[in-house]
Amino acid sequence: MYELIQITDASYYIQCPAKIGLVRLNDNEVCLIDSGNDKGAGRKVRQILDENGWTLAAIYNTHSNADHIGGNRYLQGQTGCKIYAPGIDCDFTRHPIIEPSFLYGGYPCKDLRHKFLLAQESSAEYLTKDVLPPGFEIIDLPGHFFDMVGFRTPDNVVYLADCLSSRETLDKYQIGFIYDVGAYIKTLEMVKTLDAKMFVPAHAEAADDVSELAQYNIEKVWEIAGKIMGLCKEPLCFEIILQRLFAHYSLAMNFEQYVLVGSTVRSYLSWLKDTGRLNAHFENNMLLWEQI
């Protein structure tokens, strides 16, 4: 864990639960793509920098989930590096309490205020083209989270953030987190068409071709959508839909899974309603979902 893997002369990644990209900008300076899940991850990154005599110029966050920004504060405090994050995710990075609040739909109880969902605050600036190193390209990857992006480096390595889950992860957990289902499918269709020397997804193995994995992720989305549609042959409230999905996929409920899977299921319900597949109505002061 936290092994530095070299891809090209300049592009690397650090093997950890959410892969961290590292790109050499010159003989002395490097930038990171994300920073790991906590202060401990930041320390491991700092060791790698010191062992190689590298100075950290900047962290480019792909999005603001805690496992991608958790090392920001430590590394910024140690090195004075700049931190950049895209769009709304920059605000989440500055004020990370927004993430568990958004997922829960209200003020999060203590069970949700921990490093898995709540990173430490860091001083981030908005990611724009003009703050990128020369030759870098931003790739918009909406769907998983609000304004998530990936990056293409000058030597044609593409860092894909969280738009792909491995087959093993999908088969184990079944319902991966999605904020905007329609945008997510479009992103995956786009990713299928990309060419690169190497792709580095945060939660799947690095590979020179990810088209089959992208298609597997798409098929899983449609599988989940079909299951929800099947449940809604009778009018059901959200809590019953969620309970039956957990039972069907043999998932274990806890606070983290309740907010992560629950938020995702609400996103599916919104997408299915907006695309004319489900109807929603209120009965006895309860919101019920039903096939049209």
Q: Write the pLDDT tens digit of every residue in 115-131.
A: 999 999 999 999 999 99
The 10s digit of each residue's pLDDT in 124-160 is: 999 999 999 999 999 999 999 999 999 999 999 999 9
Strand partners, 139: 150
Spatial neighbors of 24 by CB under 8 A, at least 6 apart, are 9, 10, 11, 12, 30, 54
Strand partners, 198: 157
pLDDT at 279: 98
Asked if pLDDT for residue 292 goes beyond 90, the answer is yes
pLDDT at 210: 98
Strands 29-33 and 55-60, bridge-based pairing: parallel
Asked if pLDDT for residue 184 goes beyond 90, the answer is yes
Reported confidence tier of residue 1, pLDDT bands at 50, 70, 90? confident
The 10s digit of each residue's pLDDT in 233-288 is: 999 999 999 999 999 999 999 999 999 999 999 999 999 999 999 999 999 999 99
d(CA 36, CA 39) in angstroms, rounded, equals: 8
Asked if pLDDT for residue 200 goes beyond 90, the answer is yes
Name the residue type at position 174. Answer: Q
d(CA 238, CA 258) in angstroms, rounded, equals: 12
pLDDT at 18: 97
User: Mind listing the domains of the chain with CATH numbers?
Assistant: 1-134 (3.60.15.10), 230-291 (1.10.10)
pLDDT at 244: 98
Question: What global pTM score does this model have?
Answer: 0.97
Q: For the chain, what percent of residues have pLDDT higher than 70?
A: 100
Cβ burial of 270 (10 Å; 0-12, 13-18, 19+) is middle
Contact between 188 and 214 under an 8 Å Cβ cutoff? The reply is yes
The 10s digit of each residue's pLDDT in 85-104 is: 999 999 999 999 999 999 99
Provide the strand spans (E) within the chain. 3-6, 11-15, 20-24, 29-33, 55-60, 82-85, 125-126, 137-140, 149-152, 157-165, 198-203, 278-283, 286-291
